[in-house]
């Protein structure tokens, strides 16, 4: 397959067989009496109990649930419940709480402007740790059977805990909208699950091109978490590297992210001894701590891995990663693009959480809500109509992510991603939006 560096910009996207077709514009919050002000977020997340409800949204109102109805009109149709399950306790709350805050902020902004199609949104959140499949299943069943949510949104993007509940959601026809979810490598995901990241197979083609074109090496080591969502994709990834003349001279599986702090020094020693001229990490934790270990050993080679401009690289790696580590935005745009939609996102966060900072996790949560709101406005709370509309969405430009393209066989909608690197311990853009000609936008 021939690859071309393709940029996606200017609100237009090339569609297969359509030429340079204009993108569908969307992603702005609805205009309304709120004028962009919005009410303060209700109910800060607290410690709660495992799989216990947290007071994070408005209460009361008539349940819209599974009722049908159009997206238009200004009639007050009551409350439409949506749910989320996130790690909200202990050390993992740093992963879940930012996503919850942004999701709640979006809900509050929408409600302050009159809702969507006459429906006010209510967000119900439960806790489950990142790998606690039992707690996630319990929480999802409570959301569906007791709380009667219409959809589930923004479960943490590393969706290990959700593997056990996807079939359940399919059975009950409850849509799941994810911002990101790059660890779920099936292009289709499931009949009801949609994600804004590019398809998993996209990265199989993209990784070798980054190594070849931006890192300029032909021998690499790969380090990955030894969990099914990462380990099962390594053989196919190695095949793609081989097609580009890149030899994987060492593989270093790490049992858990927590072990990266103590395991990466030995992994670096082995990769270096095998003759690797660069390194690829499939996980941002391994990217950060692998680079730190490499620096301790004086192994100054280029690195690449997904991190979506997270605090982890800025905080843990900092200037040690300067000019030597490439990452990407997981299909999202970069904040400096200055679109009206990105300004809404940044302005909302500055207003509601002035002490916080926008990272890829926060933007992914916002993007998922943009997508959810866009489709809900077209269909109303009819699950079958909602899923059908999702599967026929092509070239949707939300202004905060790459144009989105879905189909019945493709539920990961991203079409490109942007390379970043660190300068002075801060992320800067290192490329335009790229897909190397692999994926139709």
**Could you report the per-residue pLDDT of 184-216, keeping only the tens digit for each?**
556 677 899 999 988 877 888 899 999 999 999
**pLDDT band (50, 70, 90) for residue 284:** confident
- Tens of pLDDT, residue by residue over 136-160, are 999 999 999 999 999 999 987 555 6
**Which pLDDT score is estimated for 373?**
97
**Which pLDDT score is estimated for 44?**
36
Helices (H), 211-283: 228-231, 234-243, 260-273
CA nearest to 320, candidates 362, 361, 264, 255: 264
**pLDDT band (50, 70, 90) for residue 75:** low
**Which pLDDT score is estimated for 1?**
26
**pLDDT band (50, 70, 90) for residue 267:** very high
Domains and CATH numbers, the chain: 48-199+333-415 (3.40.50.2300), 200-330+420-434 (3.40.50.2300)
Rounded to an integer, what distance in angstroms lies between the CA atom of residue 174 and that of residue 153? 10
Q: Which of 11-20, 107-116, 232-241, 289-298 has the lowest average pLDDT?
A: 11-20
Q: What is the mean pLDDT of the chain?
A: 82
Strands (E) located in 87-239: 119-127, 151-153, 176-178, 193-195, 219-225
In eight-state DSSP terms, residue 400 is S
**Which pLDDT score is estimated for 32?**
64
* Residue 164 scores a pLDDT above 70: yes
The average pLDDT across 174-182 equals 83
**pLDDT band (50, 70, 90) for residue 183:** low
CA nearest to 237, candidates 180, 187, 280: 280
Other Cβ atoms less than 10 A from the Cβ of 76: the count is 13
| Tally of residues, the chain | 441
Between residues 83 and 424, which one has the greater pLDDT?
83
Q: By the 8 A CB rule, do 169 and 193 touch?
A: yes
* b/e map 78-108, b = 16+ CB within 10 Å: bbbbbbbbbbbbeebbebbbbbbbbbbbbbb
Q: Which of 95-109, 226-240, 403-417 has the lowest average pLDDT?
A: 226-240
* Residue 74 scores a pLDDT above 90: no
- Tens of pLDDT, residue by residue over 373-430, are 999 999 999 999 999 999 999 999 999 999 999 999 999 999 999 999 989 888 899 9
Tokens 């800067």 label which residue? 428
In this structure, the strands spanning 176-178 and 193-195 are parallel
Rounded to an integer, what distance in angstroms lies between the CA atom of residue 318 and that of residue 316? 6
* Tokens read off for 173: 């026809």
Angle (nearest 5°) at CA 194 between 386 and 30: 55
**Which pLDDT score is estimated for 150?**
98
**Which pLDDT score is estimated for 184?**
55
CA nearest to 303, candidates 384, 419, 150: 419
Tokens 């001279």 label which residue? 249
**pLDDT band (50, 70, 90) for residue 356:** confident
* Residue 55 scores a pLDDT above 60: no
* CA dihedral sign of residues 348, 60, 79, 89: positive
**pLDDT band (50, 70, 90) for residue 441:** low
* CA dihedral sign of residues 174, 179, 182, 186: positive
* Residue 3 scores a pLDDT above 60: no
Q: By the 8 A CB rule, do 246 and 212 touch?
A: yes
- Tens of pLDDT, residue by residue over 301-331, are 999 998 777 777 888 888 899 989 999 998 8
């Amino acid at each position: 397959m021939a690859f071309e560096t393709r940029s996606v910009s200017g609100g237009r996207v090339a569609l297969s067989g359509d030429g340079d077709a204009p993108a569908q514009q969307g992603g702005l919050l609805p205009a309304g009496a709120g004028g962009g002000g919005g009410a303060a977020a209700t109910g800060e997340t607290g410690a709660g109990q495992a799989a216990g409800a947290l007071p994070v949204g408005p209460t009361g109102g008539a349940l819209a649930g599974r009722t049908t109805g159009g997206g238009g009109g200004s009639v007050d149709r009551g409350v439409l419940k949506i749910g989320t399950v996130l790690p909200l306790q202990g050390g993992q709350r740093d992963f879940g709480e930012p996503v919850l805050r942004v999701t709640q902020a979006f809900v509050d902004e929408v409600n302050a402007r009159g809702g969507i199609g006459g429906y006010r949104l209510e967000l119900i959140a439960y806790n489950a740790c990142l790998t606690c499949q039992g707690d996630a299943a319990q929480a999802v069943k409570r959301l569906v059977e007791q709380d009667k949510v219409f959809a589930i949104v923004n479960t943490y993007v590393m969706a290990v805990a959700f593997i056990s509940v996807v079939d359940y959601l399919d059975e009950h026809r409850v849509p799941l909208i994810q911002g990101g979810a790059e660890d779920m490598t099936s292009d289709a995901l499931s009949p009801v699950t949609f994600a804004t990241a590019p398809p998993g197979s996209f990265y199989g083609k993209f990784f070798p091109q980054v190594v070849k074109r931006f890192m300029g090496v032909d021998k690499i080591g790969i380090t990955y978490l030894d969990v099914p969502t990462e380990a099962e994709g390594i053989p196919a990834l190695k095949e793609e590297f081989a097609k580009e003349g890149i030899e994987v001279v060492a593989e270093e599986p790490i049992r858990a992210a927590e072990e990266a702090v103590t395991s990466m020094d030995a992994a670096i020693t082995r990769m270096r001894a095998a003759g690797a001229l660069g390194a690829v990490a499939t996980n941002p934790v391994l990217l950060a701590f692998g680079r730190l270990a490499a620096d301790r050993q004086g192994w100054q080679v280029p690195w690449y891995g997904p991190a979506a401009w997270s605090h982890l690289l800025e905080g843990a790696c900092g200037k040690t990663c300067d000019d030597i580590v490439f990452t990407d935005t997981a299909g999202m745009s970069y904040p400096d693009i200055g679109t009206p939609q990105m300004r809404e996102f940044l302005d909302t966060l500055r207003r509601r959480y002035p002490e916080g900072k926008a990272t890829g996790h926060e933007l992914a949560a916002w993007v998922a809500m943009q997508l959810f709101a866009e489709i809900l406005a077209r269909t109303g709370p009819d699950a079958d109509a909602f899923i059908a509309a999702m599967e026929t969405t092509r070239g949707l430009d939300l202004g905060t992510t790459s144009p989105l393209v879905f189909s019945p066989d493709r539920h990961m909608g991203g079409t490109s991603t942007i390379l970043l690197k660190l300068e002075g311990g801060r992320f800067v853009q290192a490329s335009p939006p790229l897909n190397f000609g692999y994926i139709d936008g």
